[in-house]
Chain A
């Protein structure tokens, strides 16, 4: 079975400051990794994903995450946050192949609050 641990339930930060949201996972098989964002009263939106290739993946709005296999981590970073980045962020994994391909196992979520 797979599990995902998001190490911080809440992260407050000031606008234009850097931020890191931490994610560790546990799995006995190969996994793909994802970050989702959920704005208030909205559904989950895929922010970025790691399937293969470069271990550093980027989103269109300035977030990046790096897959570290040895540390089983997939931390999310942004060098300068904006008020509009305030949301809940979920880290998730999906087993490569298998019968339940595509099934996501989520962490508990990290609420990012950006203060002016």
Chain B
């Protein structure tokens, strides 16, 4: 089975610019997660989708971050405008509804300069 696909792998932008990341989950997985992993820390959940509805976005900085999951499949995470502290790896994961322990994509490494 194909894994979780993410793009781009790397992105470098200047502060105050905008950036978007894309995630294609494993086919049939209803639940999709976006995590932020800052260097030296464990990943932190930003947002969780069930199909195309949001289950948890309590740790998403909504003044600059937004995410959508159209048609309950692919998802896009956007940052506008970016800050230096947004430099991190953004990981996407997916799972069957109600399951625990799941597969992550390779991530997008964002550097804000």
On A, residues with C-beta under 8 Å from B are 4, 32, 34, 36, 41-46, 49, 51, 90, 92, 94, 99-109
Contact = CB atoms under 8 A, between A and B. Distances in A.
Interface of B: 4, 31, 33, 35, 40-45, 48, 55-56, 91, 93, 95, 98-107
A34 B43 CA distance: 13
B104 A108 contact: no
Q: Which of B56, B93, B101 has the most CB of A within 10 A?
A: B101
Contact of A46 (B41, B43, B101): B101
B55 A32 contact: no
Nearest to B6: A43
Given A32-B100, A49-B100, A51-B100, A43 B44 contact: no
A101 B98 contact: yes
Contacts of A100: 45, 48, 55-56
A92 B42 contact: yes
Contacts of A45: 103-104
B106 A102 contact: no
Q: Residue among A32, A94, A102 with the most chain B CB within 10 A?
A: A102
